[in-house]
Amino acid sequence: MTDISLAPPAPARLAGLTWRNVFALAGFLAALFVIPVVIDDDFIYHIFVTLFIFAALSTAWNIVGGFAGQLSLGHAIFYGIGAYVGIILMNMGISPWLGMFAGAAVAVVVAVAISYPCFRLRGPFFALATIAFLEVFRVLALHFRELTGGATGLMIPLKFGWEWMVFRERLPPLIIAFGMLLVCLAVAWWIRSHRIGFQLVATRERESAAKAAGVDTVKVRLIAVSVSAALTAMVGTFHAMYLTFIEPAAMFSLPFSIQIAMFALIGGIGTVFGPLLGAVLLVPISEVARGWLGAHALGLHGFVYGAVLILVVLFMPNGLMGLLSRLNKSSETSRQRQAQTITAAQAPSERPSLGDAIVKVESLEKHFGGLHVTNNVGFTLREGEILGLIGPNGAGKTTVFNMISGFLAPDSGSVSVRGADGTWHKPTTPADFAAIGVGRTFQIVQPFAAMTVEENIMVGAFHRFSDVHEAREVARETAHRMGLGPWLDAEARGLTIGGLKRLEMARVMAMKPRVLLLDEVMAGINQTDVRRAIDLTLSIRDSGVSIIAIEHVMQAVMSLSDRVIVLSSGQIIAQGKPQEVVRDPTVIEAYLGKEFVHAQA
Amino acid sequence: MKLSLLLKTTVAAVLLTATAAHADVKFGALYPFSGQLALLGDESARGLEIAVDEVNAAGGVQGEKVVLVRGDAVDNNQAIGEARRLISREKVAAIFGSYSSARSIAASQVAELSGIPYFEMGAVADEVTGRGLKFLYRTNPTAEDMGKLIVEMIVNKVAPGIGKKPEDLKIGIIHEDSSYGTSVAGHQKKYAAEAGLNVVSTQGYPASTVDMSSLVLDLKQRGVDVVLQTSYQNDSVLFLQQANEAGFKPAAIIGGGGGYSMQPTADAVGHKVIDGVLDADFTQFLVNTKYTPGLETFVEAYKKKYGEAPRSGHSLNNYVGAKILLDAINKGKGFTPDALVAAVNTIDIGEGVTAAGYGLKFGKNNQNERAKMMGMQWQDGKLVTVYPEAAAVAPMRLAK
Amino acid sequence: MDTILQLLANGLMLGGLFAIVAVGLTLIFGIVKVVNFAHGEFLMVGMYLTFLVTRMLGLHPFVAVIVVVPALFLIGALTQRLIIQPLMSARDDHIQIFATVGLSTALINLALLVFGADIANTPASGLRTPIEIGPVRVLSGQIAIFVASIALVIGLQLFLQNTAMGRAIRAVAQNRSAAQLMGINVDRIYILTFGIGAACVGVAAVLIAPLYPTSPTIGTYFVLTAFVVVVLGGLGSIPGAFVGSLVIGLIDSFAGFYIGSDMREVAVFGVFLLILILRPAGLFGKQLNLSHVSP
């Protein structure tokens, strides 16, 4: 095992909470609730209500901003919607307990309407779009006075009691805020530890690889944004009842949106409990800092706040949770699984004979600008066959792959795949292809860097199994088969190129594909590994999977392929048995130039 | 220099907290001391501080020394938190505040629920008193008073001054689009309609705008004679400059407080450009002191305490409100909420005897029914009071 | 007709104003690939510097260029070196955004601490003189901004196309690792680019200070529009940003007159969102070639 340099295996983030952690967490939450009750003071109650509200909002934000990696700086839109809907309905005599859900429903509709077109925007663009939407909402709230009260805002009628969510006593708001925090945490935890959570993180890490693994990336992100918006709106309704007064400037505020995101950032973006931790640390500190610095010099408090933010970002980019897990690491090592011996490639079983066609590619055409990159390419793949796709660099092999896996739409021509039931389908999107059993790897490996090896493979396994335990079993089994057993708990970024290539294959294999598209899985790995990869591919074939492989390593092409297609400048220039093809002068010319052919002749 | 000031205030604050330990009676001072509203929040609080100094120098209230505990109402959630802290931890007998209407509305709900009196001396929105709270009192004039005074000024002085009938004037109302501008503009419209004035355009705009040329063009096209603007500082400067540069010279421009009352605005716009511009606001400093006895003493005290002249009339109005309230409390019995309420309900002070000119008597919804704004005009780089006659130090200058 | 011409002139002048603020932001965005949320605060710092130089030395504001531009170059370079560069390898770009948000907060409040919340006036020095061109009136200072923004766009374009350093910058923008392999010091190029971007906003500050009173929050008034312009123009396309600025200036001007000034923000952001969604690459951005790396 020379090819895998081992970063020390990090503890699996999702390997389920240990009992010790569960108790610690429960104790922590209980303490948060009990402290204000014991101190029994109005102001302390207020600080904790504020803390719970911010922690809940930040936890909800984190589902989109952290898990899905879509940096929303417009989350106050949903908070504001919840607040406005709640108060407008309350003024009509409807209890905020119902208004809360109405607000959540409106927020979900708005969230989907906003996000659907915006999801094609990544990183800063998404952030800017959400800011723009926030501004639009603020101006609209100012403009439609009849509904929103305009700039002067709305007030609630002071009707007290549980049914109106407004209280003279101080305990009930604390209970509600705490309850909302628990709900948000529970939802976030559920998402992160189930299929959708894996799919979200996979989408965040590598959208294309996630698509290839059969993840409907748009759908999962829309679900995430809907859940997040609904939770945010519900907290917004409660906070409005607590404030008893709302106005557009305070509800649809950019600084407020940034603040919500910041708690998550400081606590640990993308972790379940990071936002809570961030709020627990920051809310009291900023209260104290405001008291100490705020009253004495204009701006000092804000200056310190900004400076601290920069320092935190610079020196603990993974937030408090990152710090905690570093501290925790030493104690976790005992949990590390025993290194497993790698099972050699399974003993080859009897090879089944070739079946009927399973993939039909007909006259594909593709232009990039003036470049004709795919010119009338057509071929068929038979069941149980390995088809080699070779050609010089720039011949358009990967483009063809992209078209027969749904990542690129051809200008004309078609790709048909025979389903398990024997009927023919014409899939168009990566999700379609994945659904019908076409799996692919990428020439440039695309691991989900922040996930462990096991989690990486699980993303593939989720394509067939929705249950976490089943998916984990399949992932482990696949990992052992691919010789990745010892690194199950290591983060994917720690693997070497050979390990990553195998991870890439393992992820596809976990999807249990019927057709496998391999894009240069042997490039750049050493001789021993090439040999093993060949055996592995053969054993995959023998298990009934049909394979198309782009490959440069001739040894592999020759020993694997039943048939070879040679592509040059976007055209098929030769096809046939490997031995015949390599002797074809057109092929030699394409690879080595005219002079070589003449010299040989 | 800033640093030494900082140190001084820190030491002062520490001493203050130390003395607070055996303080006699505590009141809350709830203003925005940081964030966007800090400048005028702080200015407002200074008026309260001077009032307390005077009262303490004269032996305190009911023989006990008054101690102020500051609360920083930087946003609405914070206003609630600070109100709670003042009431539950500091055990203040009442809260004084708060310059900003939004903060006042949020914080006074808390005080009302706790049954602690809340004395508002600066926020102008109708909703502050409009909610019918039992423990909320407001001493200062409101957005409504501002709208009313401006229309009064147009009818009584501006129209005759420029030689037109009031109903022949074309009025254009522009306002920044937050609560302040919107509610003043609403009252301007209402009173203008009652007075039979012709309002040809009403437009809101965000206070952070960087260009008002379209708005100016619109007013110019409509041939507006009198522009009413309710604004903060940036947009006041922008409008006055862009109107001047576009060659738009209405017969009168009447500002509503905010940016219009501040010296830096005049300096930024240029004294020539702003000359003749009218303004309705709280009582300012260039006013007939026969009508505002005690004003000079206040300015003296202010200069002595803070080492500079008052930055706006906010301090004066908070001073006047606080002074009257504390005097009334002094005559009352005890500091329980009911005693305080009973004490301030007896206040009955007429016009022309306070440093702000207006009198004080709490009427419907505990709003001071005698509160009035004044009309000012920028003349030769100074903001002088021109309306009403009794308070005026100079005649209103208008070109026919 | 005169009204339309005047609105047109106002829109173009406003466009020039947005352009001169946005040019530096575009450069940084296009090359370093960082959205600098502190860009408006760079402008604010430049305006205060202009204010100080003119007030203390009694010079014409334009002379302040010799102080403000180098100072901002330095601020920009330091920002890149000390704050952005350590985060270049960060897992996602959220981190960099938050760092610049932190910088923005710190700078606004630092200004509040040093100068107070009052406005600071740079003397107009003759730049507020109205100039009449036919039926249209504009300010000399506005024309100066407009001309300067064109000069800046052309100058930067020439610099990027025709100098060795400019080519190195473009190489880094196109392919960071290839540029590195060719022996270009990528970190230095980034520092330089950030510095130049900040220096551009220094030029803007000198020109804007005489026309707008300076306050700690003045940067926030411009920065959202500048973002809009950058995205409209296409990722890092400087001429694109210029055209985008004019478009936004004109929309602002006409919408302000015909729709009403309270809704013109909706018009501006509405157009922004439409273009962002329909043409994510912006008006002038190139579509990315997707053959090897899938979308």
Find the mean pLDDT for residues A559-585. Answer: 84
Check residue A344 and give its pLDDT.
43
Best residue of A39, A46, A87, A253 to probe chain B, by most B CBs closer than 10 Å: A46
Winning range, highest mean pLDDT, from A123-127, A517-521, C165-169? C165-169
CA distance B272 to B395: 18
Check residue B14 and give its pLDDT.
44
Length of chain A: 601
In tens, the pLDDT along C191-236 reads 999 999 999 999 999 999 999 889 888 998 888 888 888 888 876 7
CA distance B279 to A409: 67
Find the mean pLDDT for residues A308-329. Answer: 79
The set of chains that have 3 or more CB pairs under 8 A with A is B, C
Look up the ipTM and state it.
0.86
Q: What is the average pLDDT score of chain A?
A: 83
CA distance C255 to C251: 6
Contact assessment for residue B264 and residue C119, using Cβ atoms and an 8 Å cutoff: yes
Higher per-residue pLDDT: A58 or B125:
A58
Check residue A599 and give its pLDDT.
55
Q: Is the pLDDT of residue B62 over 70?
A: yes
Q: Which of A102-116, B5-19, C6-20 is the least confident region?
A: B5-19
Q: How far is CA B46 from CA B19, B96, B303, in A?
A: 20, 12, 11
Residue C126 φ/ψ, nearest 5 degrees: 80, 0
Best residue of B211, B235, B236, B308 to probe chain C, by most C CBs closer than 10 Å: B211
CA distance C58 to C47: 15
Best residue of B2, B39, B76, B78 to probe chain A, by most A CBs closer than 10 Å: B76
Contacts of B9 in chain A (CB under 8 A): 296-297
Do B125 and A152 make contact, defined as CB atoms within 8 angstroms?
Answer: yes
In tens, the pLDDT along A51-89 reads 999 999 999 999 999 898 888 999 999 999 999 999 999
Q: Is the pLDDT of residue A214 over 70?
A: yes
- Written as one string, the DSSP assignment of A390-422 is E-STTSSHHHHHHHTTTSS--SEEEEEEE-TTS
Find the mean pLDDT for residues C262-284. Answer: 80
Contacts of B238 in chain C (CB under 8 A): 212
Do A296 and B74 make contact, defined as CB atoms within 8 angstroms?
Answer: no
Check residue C118 and give its pLDDT.
78
* Count of CB pairs separated by less than 8 Å, A with C: 161
d(CA C256, nearest CA chain B) in Å: 5
The set of chains that have 3 or more CB pairs under 8 A with B is A, C
Do B34 and A301 make contact, defined as CB atoms within 8 angstroms?
Answer: yes
Contacts of A239 in chain B (CB under 8 A): 77
In tens, the pLDDT along A444-500 reads 778 887 788 888 888 888 888 888 888 888 888 888 887 787 878 888 877 777 788
Q: Where are the beta strands (DSSP E) in chain C?
A: 130-133, 136-139
Q: Is the pLDDT of residue B9 over 60?
A: no
What sign results for the dihedral spanned by CA atoms C163, C166, C168, C174? Answer: negative
What sign results for the dihedral spanned by CA atoms A6, A9, A10, A14? Answer: positive
Three-state DSSP class for residue B374: strand
When CB atoms are compared, the residue of B9, B34, B105 closest to A245 is B105
The structural domains of chain B, with segments of one domain joined by +, span 2-141+291-369, 144-281+375-391
Check residue A598 and give its pLDDT.
59
Residues with Cβ within 8 Å of B3's Cβ and at least 6 positions away in sequence, in order, are none
Contacts of C113 in chain A (CB under 8 A): 297-300, 303
Q: Is the pLDDT of residue C164 over 80?
A: yes
Check residue B11 and give its pLDDT.
44
Q: How far is CA B158 from CA A76, A347, B231, B278, B386, in A?
A: 46, 103, 21, 10, 11
When pLDDT is cut at 50, 70 and 90, the band that residue C51 belongs to is very high
Higher per-residue pLDDT: A212 or C78:
C78
Q: Is the pLDDT of residue A347 over 70?
A: no
Yes or no: is domain B144-281+375-391 CATH 3.40.190.10? Answer: no
When CB atoms are compared, the residue of B76, B87, B178 closest to A151 is B178
Find the mean pLDDT for residues A230-240. Answer: 96
Q: Which of A53-62, A289-298, A426-435 is the least confident region?
A: A289-298
Do A306 and C276 make contact, defined as CB atoms within 8 angstroms?
Answer: no
Report which of A49, A104, A97 is spatially closest to residue A79, judged by C-alpha positions: A104
Is C105 part of the contact surface with chain A (CB cutoff 8 Å)?
yes
Contact assessment for residue C121 and residue C128, using Cβ atoms and an 8 Å cutoff: no
CA distance B121 to A117: 49
Please name the residue of chain C whose CA is at the shortest distance from the CA of residue B175: C262
Q: Is the pLDDT of residue B16 over 50?
A: no
Contacts of B80 in chain A (CB under 8 A): 46, 242-243
Check residue A15 and give its pLDDT.
42
Tokens of A505: 């294959």
Please name the residue of chain B whose CA is at the shortest distance from the CA of residue C122: B268
Contact assessment for residue B246 and residue C137, using Cβ atoms and an 8 Å cutoff: yes
CA distance A141 to B204: 13
When CB atoms are compared, the residue of C97, C109, C266 closest to A127 is C97
Q: Is the pLDDT of residue A240 over 90?
A: yes
When CB atoms are compared, the residue of C118, C218, C265 closest to B206 is C265
When CB atoms are compared, the residue of A71, A398, A402 closest to C94 is A71
Do A46 and B85 make contact, defined as CB atoms within 8 angstroms?
Answer: yes
Find the mean pLDDT for residues A336-354. Answer: 50
Residues with Cβ within 8 Å of C27's Cβ and at least 6 positions away in sequence, in order, are C156, C193, C196, C197, C200, C236, C238
- Which domains does chain C possess? 2-278 (1.10.3470)
Report which of B379, B376, B400, B390 is spatially closest to residue B153, judged by C-alpha positions: B376
Contacts of A287 in chain B (CB under 8 A): 81
Do A43 and B109 make contact, defined as CB atoms within 8 angstroms?
Answer: no
Do C109 and A299 make contact, defined as CB atoms within 8 angstroms?
Answer: yes
Contacts of C117 in chain B (CB under 8 A): 38-39
In tens, the pLDDT along B93-113 reads 999 988 988 899 989 988 998
% of chain A beyond a pLDDT of 90: 22
Tokens of A344: 């050699």
Higher per-residue pLDDT: C277 or A196:
A196
Please name the residue of chain C whose CA is at the shortest distance from the CA of residue B177: C262
CATH of the domain spanning B2-141+291-369, picked from 3.40.50.2300, 3.40.309.10, 3.30.420.10, 3.40.640.10: 3.40.50.2300
In tens, the pLDDT along B342-362 reads 999 999 999 889 999 999 999
Do B178 and A299 make contact, defined as CB atoms within 8 angstroms?
Answer: no
Q: Is the pLDDT of residue A233 over 50?
A: yes
Please name the residue of chain A whose CA is at the shortest distance from the CA of residue C97: A124
d(CA C140, nearest CA chain B) in Å: 11
In tens, the pLDDT along A2-31 reads 343 333 433 444 445 677 888 888 999 999
Is B268 part of the contact surface with chain C (CB cutoff 8 Å)?
yes
Is A290 part of the contact surface with chain B (CB cutoff 8 Å)?
yes
Find the mean pLDDT for residues B68-75. Answer: 87
Do C116 and B39 make contact, defined as CB atoms within 8 angstroms?
Answer: yes
Residue A519: in which H helix or E strand, if any? Answer: strand A515-519
Report which of A198, A195, A294, A182 is spatially closest to residue A231, judged by C-alpha positions: A182
In tens, the pLDDT along A176-193 reads 999 999 999 999 999 998
Is C122 part of the contact surface with chain A (CB cutoff 8 Å)?
no
% of chain A beyond a pLDDT of 70: 90
CA distance A170 to A181: 17
Best residue of A303, A305, A451, A504 to probe chain C, by most C CBs closer than 10 Å: A303
In tens, the pLDDT along B131-187 reads 888 999 999 999 999 999 999 999 999 999 989 999 999 999 999 988 888 889 999
Q: Is the pLDDT of residue C113 over 60?
A: yes
Do C93 and A71 make contact, defined as CB atoms within 8 angstroms?
Answer: yes
Do A301 and B114 make contact, defined as CB atoms within 8 angstroms?
Answer: no
Please name the residue of chain C whose CA is at the shortest distance from the CA of residue B266: C121
Higher per-residue pLDDT: A488 or B31:
B31
* Count of CB pairs separated by less than 8 Å, B with C: 92
Report which of B146, B148, B147, B126 is spatially closest to residue B136, judged by C-alpha positions: B126
Is A262 part of the contact surface with chain C (CB cutoff 8 Å)?
yes
Check residue C196 and give its pLDDT.
95
Best residue of B210, B231, B244, B272 to probe chain C, by most C CBs closer than 10 Å: B210
d(CA C281, nearest CA chain A) in Å: 10
Is A145 part of the contact surface with chain C (CB cutoff 8 Å)?
no
Report which of A374, A281, A399 is spatially closest to residue A569, judged by C-alpha positions: A374
Please name the residue of chain A whose CA is at the shortest distance from the CA of residue C272: A132
Q: Which of A113-117, C5-9, C47-51, C151-155 is the least confident region?
A: A113-117
Best residue of C28, C48, C94, C275 to probe chain A, by most A CBs closer than 10 Å: C94
Is A243 part of the contact surface with chain B (CB cutoff 8 Å)?
yes
Is B178 part of the contact surface with chain C (CB cutoff 8 Å)?
no
Check residue B12 and give its pLDDT.
45
d(CA C258, nearest CA chain B) in Å: 9
Find the mean pLDDT for residues B388-392. Answer: 90
- Which domains does chain A possess? 46-253 (no CATH), 357-600 (3.40.50.300)
Q: Does B2-141+291-369 match B144-281+375-391 in CATH topology?
A: yes
When pLDDT is cut at 50, 70 and 90, the band that residue A227 belongs to is very high
Residues with Cβ within 8 Å of A541's Cβ and at least 6 positions away in sequence, in order, are A351, A384, A386, A547
* Angle of CA points C85, C87, C92, to nearest 5°: 135
Within the 214-243 window of chain C, which residues sit less than 8 Å (CB to CB) from chain A?
A: 216, 224, 227-228, 231
